[in-house]
Amino acid sequence: TEYAVMREGDTERAFTSPLNDETRAGTFICKGCDQPLYDAATKFKSGTGWPSFFAPLDDAVETMPDKGFFTTRTEVHCDRCGGHLGHVFMGEGFTPTNARHCINSISMKFVPAE
């Protein structure tokens, strides 16, 4: 559910959202507070099953360590409302920023460009 993902840090099932296939120009915004998060121009097909971006908008997200049983990942959340968005993976080498923001689409809405 949205609450479980955005407030408890869960992850939605891969390949379950139409935002994964969204290709129009526009902006992805936080479902919790409508803050703009990612420009659609930074979205790319990662094949992971979640919308992936190589960079957030300025002053849109914050990160923090997310310690799991076997690994530590970097959690991404909205810097306005604190809603959990997903994780960022660094050093993968196939994006202009060397980063992949793997974002739960249940945490976002898409606003097409006018």
Query: Cα separation of 72 and 85, whole Å?
Result: 16
pLDDT digits (tens, 9 = 90+) for 90-99: 987 788 899 9
| Predicted local confidence at residue 44, as pLDDT | 95
- pLDDT of 89 > 80? The answer is yes
pLDDT digits (tens, 9 = 90+) for 7-26: 999 999 999 988 999 999 99
Note the pTM of the prediction, 2 decimals: 0.94
If one counts every other C-beta atom within 10 angstroms of the C-beta of residue 40, the result is 18
Q: Residue 86's closest CA among 70, 68, 100, 71?
A: 100
| Predicted local confidence at residue 102, as pLDDT | 96
Contact between residue 108 and residue 51 where contact means Cβ atoms under 8 Å apart? yes
pLDDT digits (tens, 9 = 90+) for 53-87: 999 999 999 999 988 778 889 999 999 999 999 99
| Predicted local confidence at residue 71, as pLDDT | 83
- Name the residues annotated as catalytic: 102
| Predicted local confidence at residue 40, as pLDDT | 98
What is the DSSP secondary-structure string of 25-79? Answer: SEEEEETTT--EEEEGGGEE--SSSS-EES-PPTTSEEEEEEE-SS-EEEEEEET
Strand ranges across the sheet with 108-112: 36-39, 26-30, 108-112
| Predicted local confidence at residue 17, as pLDDT | 87
